[in-house]
A = this chain, B = another copy of it.
Amino acid sequence: MKNIRQRTPKEIRHLIRKGKWDQPTAGLAMGYAQANLVILPQKYAFDFLLFCQRNPKPCPLLEVLEPGDFRTKFLSLDADIRTDIPRYHIYQNGNLEVTVKEIKNTWKNDFVTFLLGCSFSFEEALLRAKIPVRHVEENKNVPMFISTIPCKPAGLFHGPMVVTMRPIPPEKVSRAVQITSRYALVHGAPIHIGDPSVIGIKNMKKPDFGDPVTIQKGEIPVFWACGVTPQAIVMKAKPDFCITHAPGHMFISDLLNEELATL
C-alpha cells in the first residue's frame, strides 16, 4: 500500500469508506481543506444555520446539504457523508452514546449536514510564511480555552466561544493577522491579541482542551476562534439527536486551501 500521506483526497476517502482508515486525518492530503462535521435533524437546522451565520469566525460554513442529502456538491463531487469520515460520534440528548465508523444504518431523511472550516488550512499557510506554529513544533495538540467572549445566540443555541492560542514573536504578529485574514472560511483573523485575562483565560498552562505549549520570552499570545465552539454549543443545547466527527477525524475535501482564500 502506497504511503497514505502521498494519496489524493479521493483515494483517502475511498480507503475510509471501505473501513481501511479510522485514524486522525492531520497531515493527510496536505494542501487540501479538511472540514468539521455536524449533522442535526431538520427541526434544529434553521436555528443552527442562523447561529453559524451570526458567528462566522467560530462557525465558518463551508457547505450545508439539503435535508436528507448525504452527497456534497461543493467540497467534493465524489463523497458520501455517511461513510467518508473515519470516526463519527453519535449523541442523544447531549450525551455521547457511541463512536462508529459509518452511519449508513443510522441515516434518516430529515438529517441536515453542516461542514465547517478547520484551522489546519491556515496553519499550513502560517508555516509556509515561516511563522512558528508552536504545537506543531512541539508535536502537541493545539491549546484550546473556553473564553468569556459570548457567541451571538440563535434560537436554541448559545454559549461562549472556544479559542485556540498560538504564541507569535512580536515582529511576526502583523504578518500572522494578514495571512489568516485571507482564510475567512477557516476561522479568519485572530479574535484577540495579547493579555489572556481580558477574555477570561486565567492560566495559559491549563488549557480546557488540547495541550499546553511553550511561550517564549516576549512572544505574544494570539487567539483564534476554534471549531470546537459549534460542537460545544450544540452539546450544551442537548438536541435529542446529533452526529459529529470524532475530534481530529475530519472530512477531507477536494478543494485546495488556496481555493478558499481571498485577497
Contacts and interface: CB of A to CB of B under 8 A. Distances in A.
Interface of A: 42, 45-46, 49-50, 53-54, 61, 64, 66, 73-74, 152, 154-155, 177-178, 181-182, 184, 188-189, 262-263
A184 B46 contact: no
B49 A154 contact: no
14 contacts: A46-B46, A46-B49, A49-B50, A50-B64, A50-B66, A53-B64, A54-B64, A66-B154, A177-B263, A181-B263, A184-B184, A189-B262, A262-B262, A263-B263
A263 B50 contact: no
Contacts of A66: 50, 154-155
Given A73-B152, A262-B262, 5 more contacts: A49-B49, A54-B64, A74-B152, A178-B263, A184-B184
A188 to B, nearest CB: 8
A127 B154 CA distance: 37
B184 A262 contact: yes
Contacts of A61: 53
Contacts of A181: 262-263
Given A50-B64, A53-B61, A53-B64, A263 B182 contact: yes
A153 B263 CA distance: 26
A46 to B, nearest CB: 4
A54 B61 CA distance: 9
A42 B46 CA distance: 9
A103 B42 CA distance: 30
Nearest to A112: B46
A45 B177 CA distance: 35
A64 to B, nearest CB: 6
A223 B184 CA distance: 23
Most buried by B among A64, A152, A155, A189: A64
A46 B43 CA distance: 10
Nearest to A182: B263
A87 to B, nearest CB: 27
Contacts of A64: 50, 53-54
A49 B189 CA distance: 25
Nearest to A49: B49
Contacts of A152: 73-74
A194 to B, nearest CB: 19
Contacts of A178: 263
Contacts of A177: 263
Contacts of A262: 181, 184, 188-189, 262
